[in-house]
Amino acid sequence: NAGVTQTPKFQVLKTGQSMTLQCAQDMNHEYMSWYRQDPGMGLRLIHYSVGAGITDQGEVPNGYNVSRSTTEDFPLRLLSAAPSQTSVYFCASSYRIRYEQYFGPGTRLTVT
């Protein structure tokens, strides 16, 4: 099992550009989520999904879109990048909601 994979590892965007961060898991987990990590802030939940076709907002959803068309994939879209979205983004999955979560390696995003 590859576990949770994320691409790209690093990305630099200009303000106003859009992009998609990819996340995939091969553990047949129902629950997937996206977090951002900023210095001194811990991790904050952006969006989550309890299964294919079902998504919901977390603590900091503004400026981000998600969809879940398959169990395996949960992409995060930045619609119009802003410098405030400079952060490290982590994808996580678990068997079901409230079960043990497993994290991907992260994507370091810089918006100039």
Name the residues that contact other proteins, by CB under 8 A.
Answer: 40-45, 48, 50, 56, 58-59, 88, 90, 97-103, 105-106, 108
**To the nearest whole angstrom, how small is the minimum distance from the Cβ of residue 75 to other proteins?**
20
> Which lies closer to other proteins via its Cβ, residue 16 or residue 41?
41
**To the nearest whole angstrom, how small is the minimum distance from the Cβ of residue 45 to other proteins?**
5
> Which lies closer to other proteins via its Cβ, residue 80 or residue 97?
97
CA–CA distance, 37 with 71 (Å, rounded to integer): 24
What's CA 4's distance to the chain center, in Å?
A: 11
CA–CA distance, 82 with 73 (Å, rounded to integer): 25
> Which lies closer to other proteins via its Cβ, residue 48 or residue 81?
48
CA-nearest of 35, 55, 37 to 45 is 35
**To the nearest whole angstrom, how small is the minimum distance from the Cβ of residue 42 to other proteins?**
4
CA–CA distance, 103 with 51 (Å, rounded to integer): 17
